[in-house]
């Protein structure tokens, strides 16, 4: 039927033409990091709680070497780190979390 054909074509174009729901922007992540995180975490270090660096070894030790865990930490805060969930939007939080994860073994 014409209606079924139209629905099928519409669905095909929606799926094929859609952008990924959350495309990560590491450049934006770096900008967010420099503007919000670098005061305490410059170079992947931690000026407040020295052992809780953003370097891979520390992230692994504290169960944070995972983008989802970093997103949770940035959004909700924990310990001495404040929450940024009301200050930053979800896309910025995802971008900065991916930036930290990607830099963790380079710092």
Structure tokens at 94: 């995802």
- The pLDDT of residue 68: 98
- The pLDDT of residue 51: 96
Quick count: other Cβ atoms within 10 Å of Cβ 72? 16
Helices vs. strands in the chain: H and E counts, helices first:
6, 0
Please state, in angstroms and rounded to a whole number, the distance separating the CA atoms of residues 43 and 3: 58
Please state, in angstroms and rounded to a whole number, the distance separating the CA atoms of residues 45 and 76: 20
pTM of the model: 0.79
- The pLDDT of residue 23: 81
Write out the chain's pLDDT in tens, 107 residues: 666 656 555 666 555 554 455 589 999 999 999 999 999 999 999 999 999 999 999 999 999 999 999 999 999 999 999 999 999 999 999 999 999 999 999 99
């Amino acid at each position: 039927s014409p209606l079924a054909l139209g629905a099928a074509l519409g669905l095909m174009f929606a799926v094929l033409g859609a952008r990924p729901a959350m495309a990560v922007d590491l450049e934006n992540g770096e900008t967010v990091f420099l503007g919000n995180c670098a005061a305490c975490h410059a170079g992947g270090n931690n000026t407040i709680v020295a052992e809780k660096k953003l370097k891979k070894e520390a992230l692994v030790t504290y169960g944070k070497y995972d983008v989802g865990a970093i997103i949770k930490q940035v959004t909700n805060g924990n310990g001495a780190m404040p929450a940024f969930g009301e200050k930053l939007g979800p896309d910025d939080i995802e971008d900065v979390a991916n930036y930290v994860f990607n830099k963790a073994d380079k710092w």
